[in-house]
């Protein structure tokens, strides 16, 4: 597959649809894919004629998050991790989720403003199963989008939740038939684009600011936890066990 095919963009009037197109790796993100996503989001941010964006994944998964072979090399100058996690933007972004949104995949969805999901979609933070932590804002954006106990469940069990349960707790805006998430997201985008784009951008900004979306402390706490985990023997064991397809032998050190 040519690198230009790894991220597909499609313009429809004032809407830009961005598709992560690496289904053979469950849309896991490495350096190349992060740079291509960053470029697509730059287009969404910089073109005044684009009033809404949609992000989706090709194949059976929205995204499995980080490609472990990338060894953490997926940070972009403008968008942060995956080109989107730390991005300062004003254009509304809708996640159209089919299949799994796990680890960084869920954190990408949390970076969006609205989420539409197919019935069989699953959302989870499985990092602890590998002796890691969710380091791309999931540990502090999760409690913004979910009740504390549910966010805690995701963070410390590693078990995913269903689209129905995610919608019940407010993470997902709409649950639709499998295969229909992108169509529903496009319909939502058209509704948004019927409104004044400046009013939409400013309304989005006010909602996020008044809801307590101050990420600075969250990033500081996550960075400290990540440093501790990365220096641990459990991290090495968790990753080795993942690649060797075996149960990890944890030591708690």
- Render pLDDT for 174-233 as a digit per residue (tens, 0 to 9): 999 999 999 999 999 999 999 999 999 999 989 888 876 667 777 788 888 888 887 888
- Catalytic residue (one of 81, 127, 217, 244): 127
Helix 138-145 to helix 148-157 angle, to the nearest 10 degrees?
A: 150
Cα dihedral: 167, 171, 175, 178 (round 10): -120
Q: What pLDDT sits at residue 95?
A: 98
Contact call for residues 159 and 124 (beta carbons, < 8 A): yes
pLDDT confidence band for 245 (50 / 70 / 90): confident
CATH fold of the domain at 3-176+196-210? 2-enoyl-CoA Hydratase; Chain A, domain 1 (3.90.226)
Q: Which stretch of 95-99, 120-124, 223-227 has the lowest confidence by average pLDDT? A: 223-227
pTM (predicted TM-score): 0.91
Q: What is the pLDDT of residue 4?
A: 67
How far, in Å, CA of 142 to CA of 149, rounded?
A: 10
CA dihedral 145, 191, 87, 116 (to 10 degrees): 40
* pLDDT band with cut points at 50, 70 and 90 for residue 149: very high
CA dist., res. 97 & res. 167, Å (int): 12
The candidate with the shortest Cα–Cα distance to 84, out of 126, 139, 128, 29, is 29
Q: Any residues with CB less than 8 A from the CB of 216 and at least 6 apart, and which?
A: none
Angle among Cα 201, 50, 79 to the nearest 5 degrees reads: 75
pLDDT at 235 over 70: yes
Domain spans in the chain, listed from the N-terminal domain onward? 3-176+196-210
How far lies 86's CA from each of 5, 41, 83, 214, in Å?
A: 24, 12, 8, 12
Nearest to 115 by CA among 70, 165, 171: 171
pLDDT at 213: 61
Residue 53: pLDDT over 90:
yes
Contact 81, 36 (CB under 8 A): no
40 touches 46 (CB < 8 A): no
Instruction: Give the phi and the psi of residue 124 in degrees, each rounded to 5.
Output: -165, 165
Of residues 12 and 208, more confidently modeled: 12
In this prediction, residue 1 carries a pLDDT of 44
pLDDT interval class at 20 (50, 70, 90): very high
> Exactly one of 81, 107, 164, 244 is catalytic; which is it?
107
Whether 107 is catalytic is yes
Q: Yes or no: say if 187 and 174 are a contact pair by the CB < 8 Å rule.
A: no
Backbone angles phi, psi at 195, to 5 degrees: -95, 165
Using alpha carbons only, give the angle 62, 143, 149 rounded to the nearest 5 degrees. Answer: 105
What share of the chain in percent tops pLDDT 90?
A: 74
Task: Provide the pLDDT confidence category of residue 2 given band limits of 50, 70 and 90.
Answer: very low
Residue 127 annotated as catalytic: yes
Give me the long-range contacts of 113-116 (CB less than 8 A, separation at least 24): 113/204, 114/173, 114/185, 114/188, 115/166, 115/171, 115/172, 115/173, 116/172, 116/173, 116/174, 116/175, 116/176, 116/181, 116/184, 116/185, 116/188
């Amino acid at each position: 597959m040519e690198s230009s095919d790894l991220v597909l963009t499609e313009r429809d009037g004032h809407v830009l649809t961005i598709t992560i197109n690496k289904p053979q790796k469950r849309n896991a993100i490495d350096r190349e894919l992060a740079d291509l996503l960053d470029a697509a989001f730059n287009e969404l941010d910089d073109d005044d004629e684009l009033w809404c964006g949609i992000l989706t994944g090709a194949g059976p998964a929205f995204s499995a998050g980080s490609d472990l072979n990338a060894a953490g090399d997926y940070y972009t100058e403008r968008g942060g991790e995956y080109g989107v996690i730390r991005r300062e933007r004003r254009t509304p972004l809708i996640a159209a989720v089919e299949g799994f949104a796990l680890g960084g995949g869920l954190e990408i969805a949390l970076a969006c403003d609205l989420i539409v999901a197919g019935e069989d979609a699953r959302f989870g933070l499985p990092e602890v199963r590998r002796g890691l932590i969710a380091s791309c804002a999931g540990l502090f954006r999760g409690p913004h989008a979910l009740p504390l106990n549910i966010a805690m469940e995701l963070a410390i069990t590693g078990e995913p939740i269903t689209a129905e349960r995610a919608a019940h707790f407010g993470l997902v805006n709409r649950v639709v038939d499998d295969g229909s998430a992108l169509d529903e997201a496009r319909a939502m985008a058209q509704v948004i684009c019927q409104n004044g784009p400046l009013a939409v951008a400013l309304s989005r900004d006010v909602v996020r600011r008044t809801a307590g979306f101050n990420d600075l402390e969250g990033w500081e706490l996550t960075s400290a936890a990540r440093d501790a985990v990365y220096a641990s023997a459990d991290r090495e064991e968790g990753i080795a066990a993942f690649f060797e397809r075996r149960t990890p032998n944890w030591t708690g050190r």
